[in-house]
Structure 1
């Protein structure tokens, strides 16, 4: 049978025992929330070791979320009209220009930007924060719980270690800002390791009271919670489309114009200049100063459509959906043997002993065994995608964990109670009995010794 034929065949009677067992485990124990939104990967089936296919369970949403189905449809509609922007005389070029500028307005509206704020399109959050780092006229204070995207770019960085509680952490930040003035406090909106949400409004008050501005890495927070720049007092906000159901290579930096206008152009090239002479360059101001070259038209369109879909779903509905699944996930992990759930703060807590305000993220470490092997077996034998490692947050992980690596499960708008139960059942089985197949460890991680899973025809050389 060819690869194409194998992917076309979904006869459950021909599935291997491991896949049949996974299907049995997939049946919900007591019902629960289904997906809130339709994603482009809805109904995706993936091959498992030994033969057969199972419905894919994506619990790696915190790394990259699949596209909303409406986003994928919008991209398909726009592609025939794709053209270079801003100076083309043809209809496709003028339409592409309009789409980019409309997307800029959509981003500003969604995050509650001020009228004079800039919305600069970037590649992702990392790119946005590196852009901002070149504009900060002084020190930047950061917490040790930051993702590397908000830890490494700052040229003059002062690191504050998080404390046992959020309240004590805020006091430590305030003390650091009072000790020596800083230009900027840059913090994450939510930990990508634990899902714990920080009080952005309070952090903005602390920064401003000490004469600093505040930047928020909203890569994790924005896809799950509405963020309002003006209402919260945020000076700069960075986020990625690929975590917000628009995985087409774009992100944004939203914020005050003065620092950005005074900073060197982020990229030297066409579009960022008003005039070029043999003896010098006149750089533009505003968003054009930092958007040299041809922009990611499709990425900007995708972000705008994804934000519109998040608004259509509604803030309360998204929060309630995720809260129910997060409770289910943490309650299930609390009953598992041989695992420990990581937490950055000891309070406030809910009935499961975890923080009361958190996104649908849980990172565990094992009492014994390799989380890398566990993650590989979850994917290869059960069709459950998770992530193992330290999640680009090494200082925070080293402070909160007792083992070298953890395993992270993360939820989103397309997640369901069935997904959570599939993961919990497979996790319990693997922790108790180990993988059903042999794996080898390589520099790239754990891989099946014999991988008989076919690849789709579009992935073959």
Structure 2
């Protein structure tokens, strides 16, 4: 994993790292005066980067059908769509022969992965439902309970892999509840030692950290554009081609077929087209590729440094508030992306979120974050509050959130 840059001093003021659409949007409050919205829900859907919106405007002017048209605009749109595959491959350090399949979102990508996986799957109990339910519904999932440390959790996973053959280890890159990052390289090595492949749910990892499929030993990687500062909701499954080519097409329809006759004989394409039947979300794919290029241009060292300073400011502020309890999965986690979850004594998660919104114009997420087993395990079966931030977040936003929480607990 790329370590977060450790610089000696953190300036008092932290500016946004990149302009995002809607940064100046105002929202109503019960005091009557609108205020600029402070968005702390990046982990659900990040706002579009302004540069991505510009790229979309260009693509809209030349938007047409893909793959099936000889006209100039169809050729231009098809070229953009196919070029996006190479952009995505480079963005996550994919191998030259990896297949890049565009899907609706991370959930769709992992359901496709479940469709092609030819055997048992080992999975942790801390996963988002998107990386839990596609496996458990097959009846081939072996769920491993996480331990209180990362090291012991890795040991438990390896013990399960050694106990019986498994086709795949499916693991999150970073928790969508706490932001804690798992050691993907170690887990990939453990899976391969026991003859399994590894799939990484990278939905919460790729907006924050540089990822390398090839050097980390990842076999399959799934993520979404809407968490990567790209609107329109496109997703990706990238990985080894053999399982994808051997499986029946994920969807039956136009684009996936090489030849069809009325006797029921169908010749299916190999490669990404095999699992991309129907007209694709071309604009979503263009946006995703544009966001990937922008993050690479900004640089993950700068992204990590910006995030680290905001995270330290947030963590220090939360620690000083009486009755506020932060959630953690592991005692020894050393890396965390820009996510924090907490509970406030004597307040439901929903009441905290509503108070922050209607009185201070601060937007957070409350609930169980599509990770119900994990919230029960952490002792918050009714849910918690989650704040998440990114390129458009400033220290003023963090200070405003902390001030609003301070007002709440003092009441």
**TM-score by structure 2 length?**
0.95
The C-alpha deviation readout for 1:296-327, integer Å capped at 9, x for no partner, is 11011101110111011111100000001011
Shift of 1:403: 5.1
Shift of 1:271: 0.4
2:146·2:153 contact (CA, 8 Å) conserved in 1? Answer: yes
Counterpart for residue 232 of structure 1? 216
Counterpart for residue 135 of structure 1? 116
In 2: Cα distance, 1:178 partner to 1:32 partner: 50
Which of 398, 403, 407 is 1:420 aligned to?
A: 398
Counterpart for residue 89 of structure 2? 108
In 2: Cα distance, 1:269 partner to 1:48 partner: 49
What residue ranges of structure 1 are gaps of 5+ in the alignment?
1-29, 348-354, 434-461
In 1: Cα distance, 2:293 partner to 2:115 partner: 31
Which of 326, 330, 334 is 2:319 aligned to?
A: 334
SS at match of 1:134: helix
Q: Give yes or no for the alignment of 1:204 onto 2:185.
A: no
Counterpart for residue 186 of structure 1? 170
Counterpart for residue 204 of structure 2? 220
Q: Give yes or no for the alignment of 1:387 onto 2:365.
A: yes
Which of 295, 303, 309 is 1:318 aligned to?
A: 303
In 1: Cα distance, 2:97 partner to 2:380 partner: 47
What residue ranges of structure 2 are gaps of 5+ in the alignment?
1-10
Which of 274, 281, 306 is 1:296 aligned to?
A: 281
Counterpart for residue 407 of structure 2? 429
SS at match of 1:74: helix
Shift of 1:278: 1.6
Q: Give yes or no for the alignment of 1:270 onto 2:248.
A: no
1:40·1:66 contact (CA, 8 Å) conserved in 2? Answer: yes
The C-alpha deviation readout for 1:267-294, integer Å capped at 9, x for no partner, is 1100000111122211111100000011
Report 1:168-183 matches (<5 A).
168-183=152-167
SS at match of 1:176: helix
SS at match of 1:271: coil
Shift of 1:367: 2.0
Counterpart for residue 71 of structure 1? 52
Counterpart for residue 350 of structure 1? none
How many residues in Structure 1 have an aligned counterpart in Structure 2? 397
The C-alpha deviation readout for 1:225-273, integer Å capped at 9, x for no partner, is 0110000000000000000000211010000000011111011100000
Shift of 1:31: 2.8
Structure 1's 274 and 35: CA in aligned 2 closer, same or farther, altered over 3 A?
same
Counterpart for residue 400 of structure 1? 378
In 1: Cα distance, 2:169 partner to 2:15 partner: 39
Counterpart for residue 459 of structure 1? none
In 2: Cα distance, 1:183 partner to 1:295 partner: 30
2:364·2:385 contact (CA, 8 Å) conserved in 1? Answer: yes
SS at match of 1:187: strand
In 1: Cα distance, 2:271 partner to 2:215 partner: 23
Shift of 1:112: 1.0
In 2: Cα distance, 1:405 partner to 1:366 partner: 11
1:121·1:252 contact (CA, 8 Å) conserved in 2? Answer: yes
The C-alpha deviation readout for 1:22-67, integer Å capped at 9, x for no partner, is xxxxxxxx83211011101222211212422111100000110000
Counterpart for residue 344 of structure 2? 366
The C-alpha deviation readout for 1:116-169, integer Å capped at 9, x for no partner, is 100000011000000010000001110011110000111211100100100000
1:342·1:401 contact (CA, 8 Å) conserved in 2? Answer: no
Which of 15, 18, 43 is 2:24 aligned to?
A: 43
Determine which structure has more spread, i.e. the larger CA radius of gyration. Answer: 1
Counterpart for residue 165 of structure 1? 149
The C-alpha deviation readout for 1:376-395, integer Å capped at 9, x for no partner, is 12112211000101111111
Structure 1 runs of 4+ with >4 Å offset: none
In 1: Cα distance, 2:370 partner to 2:381 partner: 16
In 1: Cα distance, 2:152 partner to 2:365 partner: 30
1:238·1:254 contact (CA, 8 Å) conserved in 2? Answer: yes
